[in-house]
Amino acid sequence: MNRRTARYAVTVSILLAVTAPTVTACGGRPHPTPARPPATHATAATSPATPADDGDDGAQPETSTTPDPAALDVIAAFATAWARPDLSQQQWYAGVARTAAPAFAARLASVDPSRVPATRITGAPTVTAATASSVVADVGTDAGPITVTCARYEGRWLVVDVQPPERSPTATP
């Protein structure tokens, strides 16, 4: 499995984990539909629409869109907070948790920030996939690019995954 396929599988799993509680929750408010996983640019750019007369149910995959600037702001804020291995665990967690979805924040609570390979951000987020409900972007760090996935969660953009540089798998929560 290549890195992009693995990243897609992780993103799908996390998006389902993050959105499932809002879909199945009992309450008086309307239930949002779960976010769909992001389509890759190659798929969105090269896949023609499937004709309805071929037995297809007519549902089309969500295509790439221009990313919401608010999502990019959240990705940049998360990456900046993530690349702080010099902080205590409590300080580091407070920084990353404020832009993380609840399920992902719970996973980050066990991360030892001293194992995060990056100490600073070296570039702005570069979008690799974007839909109306999710944005995936690479962010340059002094240890190599990290991949951050952001999704709509109860009306806000929140981070649902981070993949550290390939050469340092120890920083993954």
Cα dihedral 109/72/24/173 (nearest 10)? -20
Q: What structural domains and CATH numbers belong to the chain?
A: 3-171 (3.10.450)
Give residue 32's pLDDT: 37
DSSP-derived secondary structure for the chain: --HHHHHHHHHHHHHHHHHHHHHH--SSSPPPPPPPPPPPHHHHHHPPPPPGGGS--S--PPPP-PPPHHHHHHHHHHHHHHS-TTS-HHHHHHHHHTTB-HHHHHHHTT--GGG---SSB-S--EEEEE-SSEEEEEE-BTT--EEEEEEEETTEEEEEEEE--TT-GGG--
Give residue 110's pLDDT: 95
Q: Is the pTM of this model over 0.85?
A: no
Give residue 63's pLDDT: 55
Give residue 165's pLDDT: 84
In order along its 173 residues, the chain shows pLDDT tens digits of 444 444 444 444 444 344 333 333 333 333 333 343 333 333 222 233 333 344 444 444 455 789 999 999 999 999 999 999 999 999 999 999 999 999 999 999 999 999 999 999 999 999 999 999 999 999 999 999 999 999 999 999 999 999 988 754 444 45
